């Protein structure tokens, strides 16, 4: 069993920006940045749908957890679909906060039940969010709520940079298969 110091968990919480609420836009992104960021959000969405399809076939995950995961993925689908309409407005920050919170919540919900490629895909989805936020010129603000211990363990088990995470979710979106490291 991995043991994490309080300092290590706190550093993960602060560097794994998915658990962070995000603040105001730092300026309007360029059209190219918006296009790339929306493409990456679609890759993130595809990754979460691949994860959902995979957990539905795993024995041992309670049906209520699978149902909650389905509801969160559907909500994230809607948030991502709506986000393109609010980029560059004050609503973008609120929309982004919802996406970040729901992705981290989904990862925390499933973390106790998954490992290997599914855990890697969830961690990549969460870790990619800071890079996507940067494309939208959304700046990190202080944490709104503490991330769950399960989320922190998942991120510690699958450390990666935001760029590595983007590479993973893009590969999952392109192949519709779980990642291997």
Residues 6+ apart with CB under 8 A from 42: 80, 173
pLDDT tens across the length of the chain (181 residues): 334 444 443 344 444 443 333 334 445 678 888 889 899 999 999 999 999 999 998 888 999 999 999 999 999 999 998 887 887 777 787 888 889 889 989 999 999 999 899 999 999 999 999 899 888 887 655 446 678 899 899 999 999 999 999 999 999 999 999 998 7
Q: Output the pTM of the full model.
A: 0.81
Packing angle of the helix pair 116-135, 31-55 (nearest 10 deg): 160
């Amino acid at each position: 069993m991995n043991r994490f110091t309080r300092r290590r968990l706190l550093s993960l919480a602060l560097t794994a920006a998915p658990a962070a609420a995000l603040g105001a836009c730092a300026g309007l992104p360029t059209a190219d940045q918006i296009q790339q960021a929306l493409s990456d959000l679609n890759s993130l969405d595809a990754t979460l749908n691949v994860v959902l399809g995979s957990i539905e076939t795993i024995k041992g995950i309670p049906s209520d957890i699978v149902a909650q995961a389905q509801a969160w993925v559907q909500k994230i689908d809607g948030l991502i679909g709506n986000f393109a309409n609010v980029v560059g407005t004050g609503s973008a920050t609120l929309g982004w906060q919802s996406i970040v919170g729901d992705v981290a919540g989904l990862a925390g919900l499933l973390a106790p039940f998954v490992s290997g490629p599914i855990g890697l895909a969830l961690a990549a989805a969460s870790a990619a969010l800071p890079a996507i936020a940067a494309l939208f010129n959304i700046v990190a603000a202080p944490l709104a709520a503490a991330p769950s211990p399960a989320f922190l363990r998942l991120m510690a088990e699958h450390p990666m940079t935001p760029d590595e995470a983007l590479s993973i979710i893009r590969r999952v979106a392109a192949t519709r298969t779980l990642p291997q490291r």
